[in-house]
Amino acid sequence: MPFNNKTKCVFLDRDGVLNKELGDYLYRTEDLIIPDGVVEGLQLLKKAGFLLIVITNQAGIARGLYDAEAVYAIHQRMQEASGNILDDLYFSPYHPEFSGKSLSRKPDSLLLEKAISKYHVDPGQSWMIGDRARDMEAGHKAGLQTIHIISGNEISAGNFAAADLLEAAKIVLSSC
């Protein structure tokens, strides 16, 4: 069935946005911590008609620390916590020092471009929310507005800055 209208989407980095950044690789479901406000922020965005797609680098796979099944297990736990609100998951299993360069790894935008094509996303109505400059760079390459989740006195590389996902969701909604 062809789409007549373009879809609006919020692309979300995982670690540091949807879950607490542990400073190391998250691959055990028992280590997953979803901060307060994440589920509420996702619900606000979904209610406003946004697709919610996770775009995450998972270099621990290239390093041999875990496999794709661990990434899917974490994603499933996030789905359970949020009422299955996330529409899709894209991840890059590469690391330049272990598996070579890949355009799927942020700051490149291949995964964003694949999702934009698959879901007929209108980049002009869509956003990238992440906690790293590379997330912002990937979002800009794909023509998205960006929100940088920052802590402390960090300098934002995004079009906007927010302290957490709930604040970022409110920025998105105030811009609609």
Residues designated catalytic: 13, 15
| Token pair in block for residue 144 | 């998205």
Residues 114 and 89: beta-carbon distance below 8 Å: no
| Sheet of 51-57, strand order | 88-92, 51-57, 9-12, 127-130, 145-149, 160-162
> Any alpha helices (H) in the chain, and if so which ranges?
38-47, 59-62, 68-82, 110-118, 133-141, 165-174
What are the CA-CA distances from residue 125 to residues 75, 104, 128, 141 (Å)? 25, 22, 11, 15
